[in-house]
């Protein structure tokens, strides 16, 4: 298994040969690149190219018959407006770039998927730019780059880096943010879209309490603020039930981090229920519990957040709160498109859903 990039090593590499090549001939199927412009269309339709411009931009003052004719020749010639030229000339760029700190974690990747899908449907190009940290330099650079395309922006402000980037976006650029909390600094003054994590956390915590657990422990994901919404919901549900509020364990996003938190939790016999900030964390916590000889859910119940495609196949299958991040991405784009085009969009209303599977149950008889 090799991956290399030596310059133009021609011919078919054999076993163990460099995994890169640039054969001389070309395969079939190649049409010619680049071509028909607004002027070609104009000539073919017998109008000036300004009129063609009006037609493709849906300008109202164009006679119906000429519009139809132009539209016809556009279809015939397969004309596609050049985005770079449009952007340069000051028209709508028809492009969104997603500014985010991550593209592979489940929630982030799902939002990106939703944005791409919706953008594609609306014929928008989509760009991706990651901002590596909340450091001023990184943020400034990321925003500058993401913004220079002259297109619109969707910033994923679920964490500190994203929130910092959101705050640094200059006025005047079309923007929608996906935020953790609509109020507060993160979303301040910007159009946003969100998922009510707090309410979802309340639901999950209440469910665990309802099973008979005296209290629920929490392993938290990073947040855009001091207190994450999932953590806040967990706390308030506990308070409302007059249950004790154990200190939350601050973790990262991945299973490794959950595993470490789980080892600490497993050492405490009083722990019978753990609400984890996401499913990856829950996987790690579960493994740590099992390694420590604590049965799940016999001795301790574990609940996650997100419902990743794998969660139903974990052993034990994970009880979790399903959050539709893909739809959130679609909603973000819809809102953005609405603000750009002026045409109101309809966005589906999503509700959280607690998916009860095998990792949760009543506390051990001797323990509750």
Question: How far apart are CB 88 and DNA at their closest, in Å?
Answer: 4
Nearer to DNA, 92 or 236 (CB): 92
Q: Which does 273 bind (CB under 5 to 8 A by kind): a second copy, DNA, none?
A: none
Strand partners, 129: 99
CA–CA separation, 168 and 157 (whole Å): 12
CA–CA separation, 248 and 226 (whole Å): 13
Among 59, 72, 84, 356, binds a second copy (CB under 8 A): 84
CA–CA separation, 199 and 205 (whole Å): 10
Nearer to a second copy, 45 or 130 (CB): 130
Q: How far apart are the first and last CA of the chain?
A: 54
Q: What x-and-dash track marks residues 204-243 binding a second copy by CB under 8 A?
A: ----------------------------------------
Selected range binding a second copy among 47-55, 108-116, 154-162, 217-225, rule: CB under 8 A:
108-116
Question: How far apart are CB 20 and a second copy at their closest, in Å?
Answer: 5
Nearer to DNA, 88 or 312 (CB): 88
Q: Does the bond joining 359 to the residue before it have cis omega, within 30 degrees of 0? A: no
Nearer to a second copy, 47 or 296 (CB): 296
Measured CA to CA in angstroms, residue 79 lies from 204, 304, 364 at distances of: 53, 50, 69
Question: How far apart are CB 256 and a second copy at their closest, in Å?
Answer: 8
Q: Which helix (H) or strand (E) holds 265?
A: helix 255-266
For position 323 contacting a second copy by CB under 8 A, the verdict is yes
SS3 128: strand
CA–CA separation, 88 and 72 (whole Å): 26
Among 48, 59, 72, 120, binds a second copy (CB under 8 A): 120
Contact 169, 155 (CB under 8 A): yes
Q: Which does 50 bind (CB under 5 to 8 A by kind): a second copy, DNA, none?
A: DNA
Q: Which does 107 bind (CB under 5 to 8 A by kind): DNA, a second copy, none?
A: none
SS3 42: helix
CA–CA separation, 337 and 339 (whole Å): 5
Contact residues for DNA, defined by CB under 7 A: 34, 37-39, 47-51, 53-54, 56-57, 60-63, 65-67, 79-82, 85-86, 88-92
For position 63 contacting a second copy by CB under 8 A, the verdict is no
Nearest residue to 152 via CA among 325, 328, 332: 332
Q: Which does 327 bind (CB under 5 to 8 A by kind): a second copy, DNA, none?
A: a second copy
């Amino acid at each position: 298994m090799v991956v290399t990039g030596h310059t133009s090593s021609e011919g078919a590499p054999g076993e163990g040969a460099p995994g890169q090549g640039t054969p001389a001939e070309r395969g079939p199927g190649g049409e010619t690149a680049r071509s028909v412009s607004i002027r070609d269309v104009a000539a073919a339709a017998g109008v000036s190219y300004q009129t063609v411009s009006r037609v493709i931009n849906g300008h109202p003052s164009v006679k119906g018959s000429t519009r139809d004719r132009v539209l016809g020749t556009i279809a015939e010639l397969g004309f596609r407006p050049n985005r770079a030229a449009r952007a340069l000339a000051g028209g709508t760029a028809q492009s969104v770039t997603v500014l985010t700190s991550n593209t592979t974690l489940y929630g982030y990747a799902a939002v990106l998927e939703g944005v791409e899908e919706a953008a594609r449907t609306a014929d928008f190009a989509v760009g991706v730019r990651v901002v590596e940290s909340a450091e001023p330099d990184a943020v400034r650079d990321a925003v500058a780059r993401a913004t220079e395309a002259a297109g619109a922006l969707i910033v994923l402000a679920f964490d500190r880096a994203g929130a910092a980037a959101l705050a640094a976006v200059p006025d005047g650029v079309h923007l929608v943010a996906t935020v953790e909390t609509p109020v507060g600094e993160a979303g301040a003054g910007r159009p946003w879209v969100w998922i009510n994590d707090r309410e979802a956390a309340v639901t999950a915590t209440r469910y665990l309490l309802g099973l008979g657990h005296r209290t629920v422990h929490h392993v938290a994901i990073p947040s855009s603020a001091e207190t994450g919404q999932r953590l806040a919901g967990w706390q308030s549900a506990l308070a409302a039930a007059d249950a004790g509020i154990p200190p939350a364990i601050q973790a990262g996003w991945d299973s490794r981090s959950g595993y470490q938190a789980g080892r600490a939790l497993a050492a405490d016999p009083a722990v019978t229920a753990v609400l984890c900030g996401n499913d990856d964390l829950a996987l790690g916590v579960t493994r740590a519990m099992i390694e420590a000889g604590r049965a799940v859910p016999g001795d301790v119940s574990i609940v996650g957040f997100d419902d990743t495609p794998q969660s139903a196949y974990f052993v034990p299958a994970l009880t979790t709160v399903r959050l539709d991040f893909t739809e959130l991405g679609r909603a973000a784009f819809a809102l953005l498109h609405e603000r750009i085009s002026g045409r109101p969009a309809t966005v589906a209303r999503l509700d959280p859903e607690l998916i009860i599977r095998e990792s949760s149950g009543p506390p051990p008889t001797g323990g509750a």
